[in-house]
Structure 1
């Protein structure tokens, strides 16, 4: 009998979540559920696992909750570390994209030995 665990996250933007997973090398795919005539439209993000018990990020209208059957967890690190790694990359993606909207460009993005990331942005002032 499966027991799915729903874990709240801070992931509100599907685009940034997909980019974070991609940067971590975690394959994912979108799962779209469309219901008519009330026009309910849901997009979930699925991380396939070889045992068939996929991990899902499911929108609850506010954020993407992680939904998984913990007894079939196949990832190389515990769930807490998994979410922490994704959160760190997600934050980097948000910072880069939102900074670009106001004229900053990323110069350096690297993972440090201690697990932290270094992100350097620059913006040239064209006002003389």
Structure 2
């Protein structure tokens, strides 16, 4: 018996979610779903991680965020679900931090992964008088 699970996530941006999956080298495909009456021109984009057993892992857009939908009894990834979510969340957050900080002039100069799995990103922005670093 299979039990599909919808897991609440904090993935709200498709660009950052795709970047995180790419950093983890997890192959996925985009799936467009028409929304509205009579298949209007509006589409949601969901992401599908194919599995060899045909019980794919999906990130479905619910209008606010991407929900992770999976059948835990058919999970065949090389790491546990919790580890997958943690790694993906970390890469997603790193991508958000770097991308958004670059929009206001900061550049990443150093990234360090700690033994506990956390990361430290050092960003720097130069102005005419001096530099400002944020850790």
1:37 and 1:81, CA in 2 relative to 1: closer, same or farther beyond 3 A? closer
So what's the TM-score if we normalise by structure 1?
0.89
Q: Distance in 2 between matches of 1:37 and 1:5?
A: 27
**1:1-128 superposed matches below 5 A:** 1-35=1-35, 36-127=38-129
CA-atom RMSD in angstroms: 1.8
1:21 and 1:40, CA in 2 relative to 1: closer, same or farther beyond 3 A? same
Structure showing the higher strand proportion among its residues = 2
Higher mean C-alpha displacement, 31-40 vs 10-19 = 31-40
Specify every segment of 5 or more residues in structure 1 that has no aligned partner in the other structure, as ranges: none
Greater CA radius of gyration, 1 or 2?
2
So what's the TM-score if we normalise by structure 2?
0.85
Query: How many pairs does the alignment contain?
Result: 128
Secondary structure of 1:17's counterpart equals helix
Specify every segment of 5 or more residues in structure 2 that has no aligned partner in the other structure, as ranges: 131-135
